[in-house]
Each structure stands twice: as C-alpha cells, then as structure tokens.
Amino acid sequence: MNAIVAILAALAATAPSGEAPPAAVPAPDLSRLRGMPQVVAMSLPEALAEIDRQNPTLEEARARAAAALGVVRQAAAPLLPTLQAGGGYFHNNAEAVFLRPITPTTFEPIYIQPLDAWQVSGALRVPLVVPDAWFSLSASRDAALAAAAASDATRLTVRTALLQSAWAAWAGDEVVAASERALVNARSQAESARRQVKVGTAAPLTVLQADTAATRRESDLVAARSERSRARIAVGVLLGRPDPVLIAMPPLPSPSVYDVADLSRQALDARPELRAQAAVIRSYEKQASAALWRIAPQISASGSGMAQTVPYPTGDRQGWRVSVDLTWTLYDGGFRYGKADQASAQASEARAAETGTRLQILQEVQNAARDVEVARQRLALAQQENNTASEAAASARRGFGEGVTSSLDVLSANELLFLSEVQVANASSRLGGSLAALDRAVGRSP
C-alpha cells in the first residue's frame, strides 16, 4: 500500500499541471565588457539599399570605374583643340636699333633687339588628322566599360555575401532559441528527477545525470549566443557599419523546377564578368591598331598672336601667324611594332581568360542549382527528423512521469530534439545561402 501511495505521489509531482514553472533562461553576462554597441535591426530591402551606398568594397570598385573614365578624358585630349597664353618681361644687355630713313631729315627706329619690353602671346592648335589617337580613345572607352562591368560584378558579389551572412545570423537566432528551449527542458527534467528521488522512485544518480545535461545545455547556449553575435557583426561590416546588424529575413520560397540549360544561357547573357572580358579584348585590339597607326602622318592647324610694348621689326606692336603643320614619324626605332605585339598578346590572354570565365560560369550555375536541390532535401529531412524527435521527447517525458522510461531515455531524447532543431536551423540557412548563390551564378541581383 505504501508503494502505491508513493507511486501516485510521484505521478502527481511530475504531472505537467502540477509542475512549477521552469527557471528563466539567464541573460548573457557582459558586465566585464565596456562599450559593446547595440544591435541595429533593419529589413532586407533596407540592408540591400545600405550596402549599395556604403559597402567599402563596392566603393573601391566604383572608384576604379571613375578612374577609368578619367583615362578616357586623357585619351581624348590629343583630338581636341588646345589653347595657350603666355606673357612676360625681358631686359637685354644691349639694344640694337636700325634707323630707317623716311624722309631726308626723318628716320624711323626699327628695333632688332630692344633693351627691355613687356610682351603677351596666345596660341591655338587644332588637330585635324590623328589616326592613332582615334584608336587610343576607343580603346580607353572599352577599358572604362570593362571597369563599369567589373563594378557591377562586385555589386553582385557583395549583395550575395550580405544575403549569405544574413542567413547565417538568422540561423544563429534559431540555434539560440533551440538552445534556450533545450536548457528549459533539461532543467525541467532535473526538477522532475529531484521530485522522484524525494518520493523514492528514482536513484540520486538520476539527478546528477539531469544536472549534467542542464549544464551542457547552458554551455551550448553561451556558445550559440557568441556565434550569433559574431554573425551579426559580420553583417554590420558588410554594410560598412561598426554595429552588429540584425536583418529580418523573408520566408524561404517554395520549391521550383530549375532548367539548368536555360539558367546557363541566362548566365552567359547576364553575367557582368563576360561583358568586362569582352570589353577588355576590344580595348587591347584597338591598342594594337593605335600602335600600328603611329606610322601615319598627323596634321594640325595652328594660330598664334602676340603683342609687345616695343614695336617689332615690322613696326607693329601686334602680330599673328597661322599655319598648317604635318608631322610624320617615318621610323621610331621599332617602338610601334613592340607596342602592337604587346597589345596583341594581351588580347590573346584576355580571350583565353574569357573562355575560362565562361566555363567557370557554367560550372557555377550547375553547382549552385545542385546545391539548392540538395539543401531543400536536407531541410526536408531535418524537419522530418525534428518532428520525430519532438514526438520521441514528449513520449519519453510522459513515460518518465509514469515510471515506464528512465531518466537517461529522457535525456537522450532531449539531446536528439536539440540536435534536430539545430539541424533545421542550419539547413534553412544553407538553403537561403544556396538560393542567393544561384541568383549570383545566373547574374540576378537580389
């Protein structure tokens, strides 16, 4: 009779309706840290807009594109008019003056070398025929297009990195939540074990085992919170911020069928890396043409005007001059041939790089599509495992309250439940990152 009463008391003590609420999960102790920044929360569209504005890597790429446009301005200079102005004062050590008779009694001085004078001058030069400069300008424009396409590729890369980091931080939140639930379950099991020990239906070892599991879960929670903080800081760095950033991620899209051949065609049409490579090839080809056209004559028109405080030998204080000039370099020591050979070799190198980039893009598309499908399957399996582990943990806890299962069975079931929840979080994060990588491979911007 006493045994029956003890069993009934144990059942009443372990019933869910009679359990005391589990102790709250402790907050992280940061008392020995100073100056830790607060977490900044934002939506995904806000984060994508901010990374376009102030990501350091993207700013560097844009600066390189702007520098390439500056080179275009420089290359255009030989084709545009130039205007110069000058002036000054001079003093000679001696004066040479020729007196020209005007009448038998009057003479006009003609200054061959005045003693001192002030003078001003201006010159205008207009290029008319400069064949090599035409090709050089076109080559620099293609180089600027290549730099702009490279900037677009960098933008895709940093936006993809942001999405993948944001999904990693999201998984950190889920792992922290799973760790907190596991800690609550472990402490609840420890309390149940203590009650059963008090009524004599369990051995003291049961309490020690439950306390050990609770300590392990608390350690997991500390590690999970630390990793979550690291992931949030990484997101902030990508956004050009010193603060940790929490991004609210959208739900994962539903499964869809991917046509790898169609995705590959889209990638070859949309990837900015291929546009950059094509522009680089055109630039080198035009540089080779510009080098060969250095043998062609260059024609320009010039005009100049001058004024002086002392009359010129003509008797006027002002003068002007116009000319058409031809410059023809018949032999430059082979410089143009070496320049052309260098540009041709660089064009061949760029063509080989374009072929390699094309193959790499096709490989990226295939791998990314496969990774998405594998990530979906792993997520489905992780969710199925989590459902089974949740039912097993609930069954074990009920059985322990009824005296059917042991404390080790409950601890083992709780352990499997915790691991399955972590697997779901990690699988969801991998799927989100794989979808972002697929968009990057195809050339789509998030």
* pTM of the predicted protein model: 0.82
Query: Quick check: 184 and 254 in contact, CB under 8 A?
Result: no
| Domain contains 302 | no
DSSP state letters, 260-312: HHHHHHHHHHH-HHHHHHHHHHHHHHHHHHHHHGGGS-EEEEEEEEEEESSPP
Is residue 14 scored above 60 in pLDDT? no
Q: For residue 19, what pLDDT is reported?
A: 41
**Beta carbons within 10 angstroms of residue 207's beta carbon:** 21
| Domain contains 86 | no
Q: For residue 30, what pLDDT is reported?
A: 62
| Domain contains 165 | yes
Query: Quick check: 347 and 288 in contact, CB under 8 A?
Result: yes
Mean pLDDT, rounded, of the chain: 90
**What's the CATH code of the domain at 23?**
1.20.1600.10
Is residue 110 scored above 80 in pLDDT? yes
pLDDT tens figures, 182-239: 999 999 999 988 988 888 877 888 899 999 999 999 999 999 999 999 999 999 999 9
Residue 370 CB contacts under 8 Å (≥ 6 apart), including other chains: none
Percent of the chain with pLDDT over 90: 74
| Domain contains 285 | yes
Is residue 173 scored above 60 in pLDDT? yes
Q: What is the β-pairing status of strands 245-248 and 40-43?
A: parallel
| Domain contains 88 | no
Residue 433 CB contacts under 8 Å (≥ 6 apart), including other chains: 163, 164, 167, 168
Show the domain range for 389.
Answer: 2-80+130-296+333-442
| Domain contains 68 | yes
Tokens for 189, please give them.
């099991």
Query: Quick check: 43 and 248 in contact, CB under 8 A?
Result: yes
Q: For residue 313, what pLDDT is reported?
A: 85
pLDDT tens figures, 112-171: 889 999 999 999 999 999 999 999 999 999 999 999 999 999 999 999 999 999 999 999
Tally of domains within the chain: 1
| Domain contains 23 | yes
Q: Which residue has the higher pLDDT, 383 or 333?
A: 383
Lowest mean pLDDT segment, chosen from 49-58, 95-104, 209-218, 350-359: 95-104
Residues in the chain: 446
Query: Quick check: 264 and 270 in contact, CB under 8 A?
Result: no
pLDDT tens figures, 399-419: 888 888 888 999 999 999 999
Tokens for 148, please give them.
């702009």
**pLDDT confidence tier of residue 176, bands split at 50, 70 and 90:** very high
DSSP state letters, 112-154: EE-SEEEEEEEEEEEEEE-HHHHHHHHHHHHHHHHHHHHHHHH
Is residue 13 scored above 70 in pLDDT? no
**pLDDT confidence tier of residue 37, bands split at 50, 70 and 90:** confident
pLDDT tens figures, 360-390: 999 999 999 999 999 999 999 999 999 999 9
Q: For residue 18, what pLDDT is reported?
A: 38
| Domain contains 118 | no
Q: Which stretch of DSSP H or E encloses residue 86?
A: strand 82-91
Q: Which residues of 19-54 are buried (b: 16+ CB within 10 A; e: fewer)?
A: eeeeeebeeeeeeeeeeeeeebebeeeebbebbeee
